[in-house]
Structure 1
Amino acid sequence: MDENVILSFCIPTYNRANRVCECVNEILKYKGNEIEVVVSDNNSPDSTYEDLKKISDSRFFYYRNDSNLGVGKNVINTFKKAKGKYVFLMSDEDFVNIELIPKILEILKSNKGLSILTGSIQFKESQKYYWRYKNSFFKKGSQALLGFAFKKNYFSGSIYNKELIDFDNIWNDLYVCKAYPNLCVEVLLCLKGDVHTIANPICFYAEQEKESYIDKLKGKNFNDFEPRLEQHRDFTQIVKGIEIDFVTKVNLYAFLCYKLIYNVSIIKQIKNKKNEEMLDLLARAKQFAMENIFEIAIENSVVMKLENYIEQVFNQFAAPYL
């Protein structure tokens, strides 16, 4: 760790030479030495290597993997290479709001107990928001888990206290952590430090140049139905394994059930499913959520409460298709 570097912008990349160069150059417009930019290239076959090597700035560090490590390992690789106390995770298709960097650094310097800092995500070409946060503060433990964990899959704009990341305990065997390692890191960090969200746009969401390589991971697309179930199963295993009180685990699982059924409900927007097909998918998601209750709870009264809640969520999202 370099004591002078407070914040490392970490950009895992694959096959997006033009976009990642734009991202890096935009960050480097900030002139302070408290930052660095770290790019880990997942053995891109395009001109990523040649283009990034042209960037001359002592705060920029480029690493190229000998082979494609997959999304999760490449994300973690950028963290390990970073010299800053905090790591700012960015997709290679989005842009940092460099005007906010001074405020970010001020927050990090004045809040020593923070494990996570993040902000809203605004569309680059408009004033609309891809994801909007309020100015909120969650104490570590149950409050941080229930207020923040699992809420946002998209990983751009999340800042983590690197000193608190246990690189050997990120559930690397779970498929969902290979696609969304940020969510696994965030669960662990919610247990170790406070979480602060800010309303300001911390980064700008840009339209994808091509289909996300996260979507293509091992031929799966998390917008499809079966991968949504697999995602829910893996998240359930994470909740089951964390050291937190039982009530918090039950409430976290209830949120995961809501998230599953909601995510299935928007498949129609992506795939243009017919009403009867959507009802069938929602019913199957409901059943899957109910079956996985027993990974978290076995007491009849708790199981019944969760079943009733899942039924209510199903009815809410099934109503438009009846």
Structure 2
Amino acid sequence: MDLIPIISICIPTYNRCEKVYKLVNDILLYEGEDIEVVVLDNCSTDNTKSLLNKITDKRFSFFQNQENIGGILNPLKAISLGSGKFAVLCLDKDYLDFRSIKKIIDNVTIDSEIVFGRCDLNIQNENLLSSSIIYKKGYDSIINMAYLSSHPSGMFYKTAEYRNLELVKNIFVQQKPFPFYPDLINAEMAMIGKSQLLKLPSFFTESKDEASKSPSFTYDINNVYFSPAKRILEFDAYIESVEKLRISSYELAKIIFTIYGRGLMFSTFIYKIMLDDDDVCIHNKISKRKVKFFELWKLNLHFSTHFFKKKIKLNFLQKGVIVLCWNVKFFVKSIFTLL
């Protein structure tokens, strides 16, 4: 009888045959029988199938969608195909160092109450004193592991809990084009059990130079995830999510404070940084340009006005305190951008 693997490394792919072939073979250099590698192909038109069919390792499984379900849903579906106790996501354009797998397994199995987590990306050297941080169920996990707008590679979930999550089922029914579903999933997983942050040299994203040579299959000028308009939709989704969680009013206010601050900074300063980066713009097929001082404040006003108008479980005074606190930080940061 075959042993159930501890972790399933789930790789969604589309038209990156050479990269995904190398990625799978590199991961399979790990010698243990406690892993499996699962690839879900999103109807690639290149040589993905023929290349991956050359891999004969019994720890490898290859699946194909009957139709292209898009770059947002495919990773979520890939996670559900894992048969291991935990499913770990790695995008086909990223890299997982097989030498870290044993430590990942040792860490995720250290506490039976851990139901989800993530590996920090692009860690070069392991800090033995803080290579693993476990957050308690509820608020502690929500504030540290959800609503971060994070890159999804390195996220992991207890497979049974993930499959049973009603939110995951609803995502595939509604099929809304929202790029940060894992953050919503993380918030609901936080209400089920503990979470874990691993700071290991394990998952590495593609370099900016690599990204500029390989256009995004998910985003373009019409739907780029870091535009201010998309950040407002992201903010709304996070607020809708957190207000459904069974947490105290005090915890809710603290989380909304954090969500607002991140949203404000993402829709202004991060937007400015993105549009000033050649590689980012080429990858996302958009034009590079400078976002000037007054445009930053205009974007701030738009985001803050939206926040005030939005009906949420906070009163006007609470909203005012949140906006005031973050705008002090915004003012200081905007001044420094002029220096």
Report the Cα distance in structure 1 between the residues aligned to 2:333 and 2:125, rounded to whole angstroms.
Answer: 25
Closer, same or farther: CA 246–175 of 1 in aligned 2, 3 Å: farther
CA distance in 1, matches of 2:108, 2:272: 41
Distance 1:283 1:314 in 2: 11
Q: Is the 8 A contact 2:17 2:48 kept in 1?
A: yes
| 1:134, distance to aligned residue in structure 2 (A) | 6.2
Deviation at 1:69, TM superposition (A): 0.8
Whether the 8 Å CA contact 1:118–1:202 is kept in 2: the answer is no
- Aligned equivalent of 2:183: 183
Aligned to 1:281, what secondary structure does the other structure show? helix
Say whether 1:266 aligns with 2:270.
yes
| Residue of structure 1 equivalent to 2:327 | 311
Contact kept, 8 Å, 2:117 with 2:145, in 1: the verdict is: no
Could you tell me which amino acid in structure 2 is paired with residue 214 of structure 1?
T
1:212 to 209, 216, 227: 216
Q: What does residue 235 of structure 1 align with?
A: 238
**Does the 8 Å CA contact 1:228/1:260 hold for their aligned counterparts?**
yes
Residue 150 (1) aligns with residue 147 (2)? yes
Determine whether 1:248 maps to 2:251: yes
Which runs of 5 or more residues in structure 1 are unaligned? Answer: none
> In the aligned structure 1, how far is the partner of 2:243 from the partner of 2:335?
31
| Aligned equivalents of 1:219, 1:38: Cα separation in 2 | 31
TM-score, normalised to structure 1, is 0.88
Using the TM superposition, give the Cα deviation of residue 7 of structure 1 relative to its aligned residue in structure 2, in angstroms.
0.3
Deviation at 1:76, TM superposition (A): 2.5
| Pairs aligned (count) | 311
Contact 2:179 2:225 in 1 (8 A): no
CA distance in structure 2 between the partners assigned to 1:319 and 1:261 by the alignment: 16
| Equivalent position of 1:64 in the other structure | 64
CA contact (8 A) 1:10 1:79 kept: yes
Q: Which residue of 1 aligns with 2:89?
A: 89
Asked if 1:287 corresponds to 2:305, the answer is yes
Separation (CA, whole Å) in 1 of partners of 2:167 and 2:91: 23
CA change 1:138–1:12 in 2 (3 A) is same
Letter in structure 1 aligned against 2:312: E
Per-residue deviation, residues 56-88 of structure 1 (Å, max 9, x unmatched):
111111111111112343222212221111000
CA change 1:262–1:304 in 2 (3 A) is closer
> Within the alignment, does 1:24 sit opposite 2:42 as a pair?
no
Q: Distance in 2 between matches of 1:83 and 1:174?
A: 24
Aligned to 1:223: 226
Q: Percent identity?
A: 22
- The question of whether the paired residues in 2 share the 8 Å contact of 1:7 and 1:86 is answered with yes
Q: Residues 167 and 47 of structure 1: is their aligned pair in 2 closer, same or farther, counting only changes over 3 Å?
A: farther
User: Does the Cα contact within 8 Å between 1:11 and 1:40 map onto a contact in 2?
Assistant: yes
Q: TM-score, normalised by structure 2?
A: 0.84
Residues 167-196 of structure 1 show CA distances to partners (whole Å, capped at 9, x for unaligned) of 4323524846x4222212211111111112
Q: Alignment partner of 1:222: what SS?
A: coil
Q: Distance in 2 between matches of 1:234 and 1:174?
A: 14
Gaps of 5+ in 2: 276-289
Root-mean-square deviation (CA), in Å?
A: 2.4
Shift of 1:249: 1.5
Asked if structure 2 preserves the Cα contact closer than 8 Å seen for 1:5 and 1:33, the reply is yes
